[in-house]
């Protein structure tokens, strides 16, 4: 039973207060892996059964792992997977790559469109003009129906004023993710 639902940012999606991100869940049989694909699928199934419906992915391999877990656990419930072009703003060739990055993730998840799509700010300084150009490009994908909601992912507190300005001046950002990790609580 989900009792802690909330609207995710400016989207119309009602999400669970807690979600699952994939970065810290190595899967496989190597000495560095602590979950088998079956164990991960069981974890995802238990979370969905308990009411978790928000899942966050970053790197492409995480999208593959989550898609595999969804298939193994036969997840058919309404879930929201946030797909991301990690460090997209740091990639000086983002204009050429962004569509293919979105489409790769859609194919892996077997989606026709992304309910949530994040553009990663990365760890480099981002000029305001680049951020707004990327948001305009994402707006085009939204109008086309390729994505439903535009997000920004940022780990650097010093970039928050830039994002805040973009929110005020463009009104194109539907949701934001910021890093808070119990193990790595320091801001960078």
pLDDT at 105: 96
In this model, does residue 5 exceed pLDDT 80? no
Q: How much is the pTM?
A: 0.85
Q: Provide, rounded to the nearest whole percent, the portion of the chain with pLDDT above 70.
A: 85
Average model confidence (pLDDT) for the chain? 85
pLDDT value of residue 28: 60
pLDDT 10s digits, 66-84 = 999 999 999 987 898 999 9
The predicted model gives 133-144 an average pLDDT of 96
Measured between alpha carbons, how far is residue 178 from residues 1, 37, 68 in Å?
27, 27, 26
Report which DSSP code applies to 48. Answer: H
For the stretch 160-169, pLDDT in tens is 899 999 999 9
Name the pLDDT band for 3 (thresholds 50, 70, 90). very low
Among 158, 176, 89, smallest CA distance to 129 is for: 89
Q: CA–CA separation, 134 vs 40, rounded Å? A: 34
Q: What is the mean pLDDT of residues 36-52?
A: 90
What is the pLDDT, as a whole number, of residue 1? Answer: 47
| 74 burial via Cβ count (<10 Å: 0-12, 13-18, 19+) | exposed
Average pLDDT over residues 144-153: 95
Q: Which burial class, exposed, middle or buried, applies to 153 when counting CB atoms under 10 A from its CB (0-12, 13-18, 19+)?
A: buried
pLDDT at res. 188: 45
pLDDT by residue (tens digit) across 80-125? 899 999 888 888 899 999 999 999 999 999 999 999 999 988 888 8
Quote the pLDDT of residue 32. Answer: 65
């Amino acid at each position: 039973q989900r009792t802690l639902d909330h609207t995710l940012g400016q989207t119309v999606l009602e999400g669970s207060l807690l979600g699952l991100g994939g970065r810290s869940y190595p899967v496989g049989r190597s000495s560095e892996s602590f979950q088998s694909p079956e164990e991960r699928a069981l974890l995802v199934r238990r979370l969905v059964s308990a009411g978790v419906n928000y899942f966050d992915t970053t790197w492409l391999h995480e999208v593959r792992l989550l898609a595999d877990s969804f298939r193994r656990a036969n997840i058919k419930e309404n879930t929201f997977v946030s797909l991301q072009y990690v460090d997209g703003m740091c990639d000086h060739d983002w204009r050429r790559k962004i569509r293919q990055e979105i489409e790769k993730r859609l194919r892996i998840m077997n989606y026709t469109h992304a309910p949530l799509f994040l553009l990663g700010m990365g760890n480099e300084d981002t000029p305001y003009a680049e951020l707004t150009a990327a948001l305009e490009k994402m707006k085009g994908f939204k109008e086309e129906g390729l994505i439903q909601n535009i997000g920004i992912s940022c780990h650097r507190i010093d970039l928050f004023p830039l994002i805040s300005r973009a929110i005020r001046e463009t009104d194109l950002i539907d949701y934001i993710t910021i890093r808070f990790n119990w193990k790595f609580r320091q801001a960078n």
